[in-house]
Homo-oligomer: A and B are copies of this chain.
Amino acid sequence: MKNTETVYTSPISCRECRMNTLCIPLSLRSDELYKLDQLIHRGTPLQARQAVFYSGDKFTSIYAVRSGSIKQFCVDDDGREQVTGFYLPGELFGWDGLAENHYQNTAVALETTSVCEIPFDQLEQLGASIPSIQRHVMRLISREISSDHKLIALLAGHSAHQRLASLLLSFSDRLAQQKLSSTRFRLPMSRGEISNYLGLTVETVSRAFSHFQRMNYLIVNKKEIELVDIPGLELLISNTGDSE
């Protein structure tokens, strides 16, 4: 029934997964959940820097992060890498491959990470018979679009300080959704990855961190962050970074 049940960490079913409220339809009958559960592959954990898929690979599955974190990036025509997203436990990635049947991005683990693989054609079949799954899948894709739009707005209309503040608050929120501390956390990615994502240079990101610390918005120690004035950061973001 289930393949290779060798226990690496805890290849637990969706039912017991801490993240299930995030990635799975809320209202699913027990038998439906079972079917969904059946088609999910839970492989061995990935090492840091290890890829889930490469840009150009044939599209087969979408993925959910169970623990750890994922960086997704594409390489455009002139060879420049562009980070398009960071994914935390409970979040899904890999949708971009659907259009052309090949992944447009590469996804790599930022640290030791385990992911659930959901073969797309099987998910599609299941969706055809269980409408609530079908709709949920669409929702998830659409959510990706919304978050891309937020990033576009961030890049198009906000200063370096606002961009970094926004990233930190986004992490804070998403960690809170995992019932983790929203004020003390460890950023899984390097300064270079942050700066690329935010359309800045490493130096600027570094300066912004130092600035925030001087302004008592936060305490930063390498990748460890403690947010001490979240309202202050929120204010900073909303303070008219116009540009029309």
Contact = CB atoms under 8 A, between A and B. Distances in A.
A131 B134 contact: no
Contact of A145 (B96, B153, B198): B96
Contacts of A77: 237-238
A134 to B, nearest CB: 7
Interface string A88-121: 0000000111111000110000000000000000
B156 A244 contact: no
B80 A142 contact: no
B243 A145 contact: no
Nearest to A129: B128
A192 to B, nearest CB: 6
Contacts of A23: none
Nearest to A78: B238
A140 B137 CA distance: 14
Nearest to A98: B142
A183 interface: no
Interface residues of A, number: 58
Contact of A124 (B99, B134, B144): B134
Nearest to A148: B148
From A150, A197, A200, residue with most partner B Cβ within 10 Å: A150
From A77, A239, A244, residue with most partner B Cβ within 10 Å: A244
A71 to B, nearest CB: 14
Nearest to A77: B238
Contact of A141 (B100, B138, B240): B138
A242 interface: yes
Interface in A193-244: 195-202, 237-244
A31 interface: no
A35 interface: no
4 closest Cβ contacts across the A-B interface? A156-B199, A98-B142, A99-B142, A148-B148
29 contacts: A74-B153, A76-B153, A78-B237, A78-B239, A80-B157, A80-B242, A82-B156, A82-B157, A95-B141, A96-B145, A99-B145, A104-B146, A124-B134, A124-B135, A127-B134, A128-B128, A138-B138, A145-B145, A148-B148, A148-B152, A151-B152, A156-B197, A156-B198, A157-B199, A195-B243, A195-B244, A196-B244, A201-B243, A202-B244
